[in-house]
Structure 1
Amino acid sequence: MLLEKFKKSFVFKRFLISYISILLIPLLLSLIVFNTSVAVVQKNSVNSTLFLLNQLKNLIDSRIEKIDEIAIKMAYDSKLQWISSLDKPTEGSPDMYWFWEYYNNFCKIVSNLKDELDISLLVALRHNDTIYYNSVLYFGMNDFYNNNFKYEKMSFKEWYTYLFSKFHYKDFLPKASVVVDGVKKEVITYVYSFPFWKKRSPDGVIAIFIDESKIQNLLREIVENLKGSAYIISAEGKVISTYSTKSTILSNIQSINFKKAEGSIVILTNGSKVIRTYVKSQLNNWIYVAEFPIEVVMKEVYFLRKVTIIVLLAALFVGFLFSIIFAYRNEKPISEILGILKRTRPVLNKDEKEFDFIKKEISNLLQSEIELSKRLENQQFILTEIFFERLLYGHYDDKSKIEKLMKYLNFNIDSKRFAVAIIRILKEYQKATKSILNELNLYRISIEEILKRNFYGPIYVHTISENEVSILVGFYIENDEEVKKQTKDLFETVQREVTAKYSITPLIVLGRICSSLFDVQYAFLDAKELIENISLKYEELENNIICADEWQKSDVIYYPLEIEEKIISLTLAGRVGDLKSILDMLFEKNFRENNLSKNLKIIFLNELLATFIKVLNRCDSSIASTLEVKQLFVSKEKQDLEVVFEEIVQKFLEVSKIMDQNKKSHNEKLLEKILDFIHSNLYNSQMSISFVASQFDLSNSYFSFFFKEQTGMKFSDYIEKLRIEKACELLREGKYNIDEVAKMVGYTNAHTFRRAFKKVIGILPSEFCERLREV
C-alpha cells in the first residue's frame, strides 16, 4: 500500500523525501561531529604524552649537562692529573698524602651529584690501580670490582679493557645489571677518559652511574594509565631505559624516522593499532618514546560510538516511521484540496504536477476574490453614499434602523456631538461644462484632504451637487459651545487654505449642533434652507462662514417638503415621540425664530392641516370618521394661532396613537399565529426561518427582525430551547437512547443535537444521562 501510494502520489513522495532528507541531515552532522571528537581525543592524548616526554627529556638533559660539566671540570683538575701519574703508594709512603688529599675534593663532588636520579661517581686510575667510588677510596681495582661493584655479564678483564683500551668522551653503556655491595641494581653508565690529550692511553676514567629504576619510575608515570610502554633509545637504536605495562615492547624501532624534533605515528602491532609518540633530545640525540594501544585512549569514545550508532539507527527507524505518518497526514488535506479543485478541471494536463495545479487554481481563485472585493468595495461606496444621503434628508424614521445600517456597513461613529456644514464652492455657477466639472471635482477632493489633515475625528463628505458638498463632523466632547467653536475654527481653516490655493472663497453654512445622528437631518435642513435663502445676497455677505442659528430672523415659512414627508411617515408608523419632536421644532422655527406675519402663520397652519388631511386619506375610513377637521381650518378671525397649532398637533398625535395601537394589535395577532405554527411543527426537521416566513408571506430578513422584536429571542435560540426541553423529558423517561431522542425532537444529525444540548443545558446529553442514573 505504501509503495503504491509512493508511486501514485507525487505529493506524498515529495513530503516523504523532504522529511527523510531533513532526518538525514542531523544524522550526518552527528557522524561528522563524532569523527571530529575522535580526532580531538586522540590529538589531546598525543599532546599530553608529548608534554610529559618533553618534561622527562628536559629533566635528563639538565642532569646530563650537569654531569658533563662536573666530568670535564674533574678531567682538567691538576690534582687528579697529578695523582694519576703517581705509582701505587705503599703503606706509610709520602705519596699516600696526595691520594687522601684528593679524596676530600672527591667527596664534595659526590655530594653535589646526589639528586632524584640517584647518580653515583667512580674515578679509576690505571697507573696506580686506584679507585675512587662515591665516598670510598680503593687501592686495587680487581678487589674493588669483584667485591664492591660488578657487572653481572662482564668480567673484570672485560670491564678493565672497556675502560682503558680506548679514549671515552661522553660514551655510555645501556642499562645493565650490577651488584653494588651485594645489592643488585640496574644502571646506565656514562664514561669520560682523561687527560683529554692522551687519546691512545688515558691515565684514568671518570664513570657516572645513573640508577635506571629512577628513570623507569619517570617513564611509568607517562604510560601507566595508558597501558603502554615507554623507553629511551640512542640515535643508533640502542635501548637506554625501558618501562612497559606489558611483556612485549619495542616494535620496529629501526623503521622509525626520528628526524623531527617530536611527533607521533599510528602503527599496527600484533593486529592492533598503537599510537607512538617521541621527543628527540638536541643535547645527546637520545629519543624518548611512548607507545600505547589506541583502544585504551579511545575506549570510552568507542563505547560512545557504539551507543551513538545504536541511537542513530533507532532514531533513523523511528524518524522514518514518523516521516511516513507526517507525509501521509500532510498529503491528505492537499489531496482533498486537489479533489475539490479538480471539480473545475477533472483531468490534469500532461506533465502538470499537483502543486503546480494547486498554485494555478488558487491563483485563479485569488484573482476572482480580488475582483469580487473590488466589486464589493464599489458597492460599499454606493451604499455609503445612499446611507448618508438618506440620513441627511431624514429618510430614516427610527434610530434603531440607523444603528443597524451602520453596523451592516461597518461604520463606527461613536461621537457624542455632531456638526453639519454645507459648502457652496463657486459663487457664479450656471452651465456645467467639462472643464468646470473637472475644476469642481478638484476643489471637492482638496476640501476633503484639508478636513482630514486638520481634524482627527470622524468626517464624512457627501456631494449634494457639482457645486455643493455637505460635511458631517463627529466630536467626542459634550459641550455644545466648545463643539461650535471647534467647528468654526475647522471650516475657517478650510476656507483659508482653499482661498490661498485656488483664489476662490467658498460659502460655508453651519447647521445646529446635534447630540445624535437622528437629529442630523434637522441641522442639514437648517443649513440647506439658509444657503438657498441667502443665495441672492451672496455678494453682500461680509463673512463667508455663517451659522444657521446666528443668522438674522427670516420672514419665510419654514416647512420643507422633506419635513412634511417625515411627518406623514411618522404619523402612519405610530411613532408618537419622534412626531412630537418634529412638530415642536416647526413651532420653534415659525412661531419663535422666524419673523412671520399673522397671515404667513395662518398659511403655515393651513399647510400643516393639509398635511393632516393627506394622513387621513392614507388611513382607514373608520379613523377619519372619528375626527372633526373642518373646525381646524384657520381664518383671520382666529386670534390665538398658537392654540390652533396645538390643536392640530393633538390631532396628529391622536392619529399616530391609533396607528400605533393598530400596529401592536396586528403584531400580537401575527405573533400568536406564528407561535401556533411553530409549536405544531416544532419537531419537523424542515423547521427554519424560510420555512415559517413562507407560510406568512414574509421575507426572511423581516421575519427574523419581527420575531426578535416581539419575543426578545432569536428564532434559532427559541427553537433550540423548546426542542432541548422536550429532549430532556424524553431522556428522563429512560426509554430511548440519545440518537433516537435527537431524531424525535427534529435533529437529523446527532452531532448537531449534542452541540445544541451543550449550548442550552451546559453539558453533553451523555453526561446528563449519567447524572440521571446517579440520582
Structure 2
Amino acid sequence: MAFLLKSPRKTLFAKMLLTLTITVTLLIIGLSSLLYRNFFATSLDNINRMNTSILSQTSYSMKYMDTLVSKFTNTVIMSPYTSVLLHNQENDMYTLGEALRNLDNLSLPHDYVYSVYTINLALNRITSTETGNFYTKDNFYDQDVLSLLQSTDMNTLAEMPISRKIPNPQDVTASEAANVYTYIMPDNPETKPSQRIATVINVKASVLRDLIASLNAKMAGTNNEIIVIDSKGTIVNHTSESMFLQNASQEPYIQALLAADQDSGSFKTKLGGLDYQVTYVSSDKPKWKFISLTSYSTFIGTVDSIKTSTLWICLTILGFGLFLSYFMSRSLYIPVGRLVETVKGHLTSSPQKEHQTNDIYFLQDVFTEMITKNNEWEHKQREQLPPLKNKWLQDILLGIRYVDQKEMKAHQKELGIHLNMNGKLRLLLLRLDNYRFFLNQYSEKDRWLLKFGLANIANEIVSEEFKLETIYLENDQLMLLLEISPSDHVDTTESTLKRLIEIAQNASKQYMKLSFSATLSIPVDSYLQLNEAYSDTLALSSYRIIAGHGSYLTPTFRNSINETLISFPESKAKLLLDSLKLGHLERSKEAYSDFISQLSGTTYENLLSSIMQLSFMLKTTFNIILESPDFQKSDLFQIISRNIEQFETIEEIHENLSIIFTEIIRVMEQNKQSKHSSIITRIMKIVEDQYRDKNLSLRLIADEFQMSNVYLGKLFKEATGKSVSEYITDVRMNHIKDLLDNSNLSTKQILDQCGLEETNYFYTIFKKRFGVSLSQYKLEKNKT
C-alpha cells in the first residue's frame, strides 16, 4: 500500500521537476533569442551612433571652413587691392599688376583657398590669382563662373557655396580639372547681368575630401563610404575624386534622404544586392546632407557568431536539464516526502499539540524571512531606478540612443516618466556660475551633493507650474525637461519661467551660496528633436559671457545678436599695442575698451576669435616679455590665448587682460632699469679701459653705443650724479695720483699716460680736487 502511495508521488514530483527544467530551458532559449536581437540592435545602434558622430564632425568642419571663408572673403572685399582691380577705370598695368600681386599674397597664407577672381564685366576685365594674369570675357579660361555670375540672384547667394570644376588654365580642353567650392560676392545682384562686378573665392574641395578620407578610415570594413550631397542630390564630396559632381538623385536611398523631414536619422537599404545601413546628418549652411553607407557585413559576422553560440548553449542546457531532472527527482523526493508526512502527522494527531505549535512557528518564521527579503529587493530596485532613468534620458538628450515609439512607451512606464514625450517639450539648461572656483573649493562628493540640492530647489519651484523631469549632466550642467501645454503662448511660457527661475536663483544664493544661469530652448514637438534642441541651447548658453552670471537666456535673446560678421578692429588693437609699448597703462585700458565696444552685439564666436587674435598680436609684439621668467602671469596669458572659453563672463576677460597689461608694463620698466644699469656699467668699463686716449669723450662713447650723445649723457648723469666728462676726469685724476705716489715719472710722462696735457686747466683741476697745487703735493710727498 505504501508503495502504491509513494509511486504516484514520485511520478508527480518527477513531472514537476521535468516541467520546471523544460520551463527554465525554454525561458533561457527565449532570453537568448532576445539577447541576440538586442545584441543585433545594439550593434546597429553603435554603428549609427559612431557614424552620426563622424558625420557631425564632418558637418562641423564644413561649417567651420565656411566661417573661415566668410572671414577671408570680408578681408578680400575690404582690401584696397581688390577695390583697385574691380573699380579702377584706367588700365594702368603697373598699378593693376601690383594690386594683383598683393591680392595673391593676401591669399597665400590660407591653404584652403584655390584661387581668387575679380570680375568687372562692364570694364571687360578679369583677374585670377591662380595664373596671375588679366583676361577678357572672351579669353577667360573659366567661362562657367561668368555664366553663374550673370545668372546670380538672391536664391543663388543663399545656396553658396557652389560645387563645380575649374578647367586647366593652360588647356581648357584638357580632361584635368580642379574640384572647388565657389563663393560669388557680387557688388550688386540687381545690376544688369552684362554689367556685373563681383569677387569670386574658389575653395579647394580636397580639404573636405581629405577630412572625409581620414574619418572614413576610422570605420571598419572596406565597403563603407562617406558621401556629401547637395539639396539636388548631386555628390559634392566623396573619398574618390572621380565621383565629384556625379548625379546620384536617381538612387532610391538618395531620394528617401531628400524627402526626409528629419535633419538626421538612419535606415536600411540595398546596394548591389548587399544590405547597407544609411546614416545621415543635415546642415543648414550650406544645405548639404552628409551620408555614411555601412555594409552589414562589417558587423553581422559577430552577430551570427553569437547566434550560433547561443543555440549550442541552449541545446546543452536542455539536455543536461533533462538528465539532471531524473536523478534530482529521486534524491529530492525523500526529504520532501518526510516533510509532508510530518506535517500531516502534526495536523491529524491531537496528542502532539506542542510539536504542532513549534512547526507552525517554524513555518511562520520562514514566510516572515521571505517577505523581509522581498521587501529588501523592492527597496533596492527603487534605489536603482533614478540612476537608470537619468542615464536613459541623458542618452536621448545627447543623441546616443535612438528609441522608437514602442520602446518609448515601454520605458516610460518602466522608469516612471510621467511626461508626454510625444507632446510639446522645452529644455531649461541650468549652468553653475564660477565653475572653476566650484571645482577647487569642493570635493567630488560635496560637488555632487550641492548639485543635487540645486536640482531639488529648481525642481520644487518650477514644478509648481510645469510637469518636468530632471536630467543630471556632466560638468556645470543640469537640465530640466519641461512639458508645455499646446495652448500656452511662447511669450507667456518664457515670462512665467523667468519669474520661477528668479525665485530659484535667490533661494540658491540664500541657502547654498551658489549662483547659476538659465537658458531656455525653442519648443520641440517630440522627444526625437531633443538632441538638436540641446545642441542649440548649449550654444545659446555660451552668451552668458555677454549677459553675465545669473542671466536668463531665451531664443528671443538670440534675435538681438548681430549675425553679420564684424571685422576685427585692427586700428584699435594697434593703438592698444602702441600704448603698451610706451608704458601708458591707462591709455592701454582705454584703447582696449574702444576695441571691445567695436565688437558690441556680435556673435559669441566672433567675440572670442577677436580676443584670441588680440592675444596673438600681444604675443607677437611682446614675445620676449611674455616668455621671460620675470613675467609672473604666464599661466594666465596661456589661458586667455588658448583656453579663453574657460571664462564665463566678459568681465572676467577684461579683468585678467588688465592684469596682463599691468604686468607687461612692469616687466618693461624692470627691463628698462636693468638695461640702463648695464649701459652705465659698460660706460664705466670703457672709461677705465680707454682713459689714456686723449680723444676719449662722450661723443666717442655714444658712437660706440650707436645712441644719441645727449640721451646717453642724460642717462649717465641721472644714474651717477656726474656727467660723462666729469667721470673721465675723475678716473684720470685717480690714476695720476697713483702714479705720483708710486713712480718716479715726470709730470709730462704721467700726463701722457693718463690722456691729459700739461696745461693751466690741469693744474686748476688738480688743486681743486686735492686741495693743494701739484708742486706742493710733490713737496709733501718728498718729505714723507
Q: Which TM-score band (shorter chain)?
A: 0.3 to 0.5
Which of the two has higher C-alpha Rg?
A: 1
**With structure 2 as the length reference, what TM-score do the two structures score?**
0.37
**With structure 1 as the length reference, what TM-score do the two structures score?**
0.38
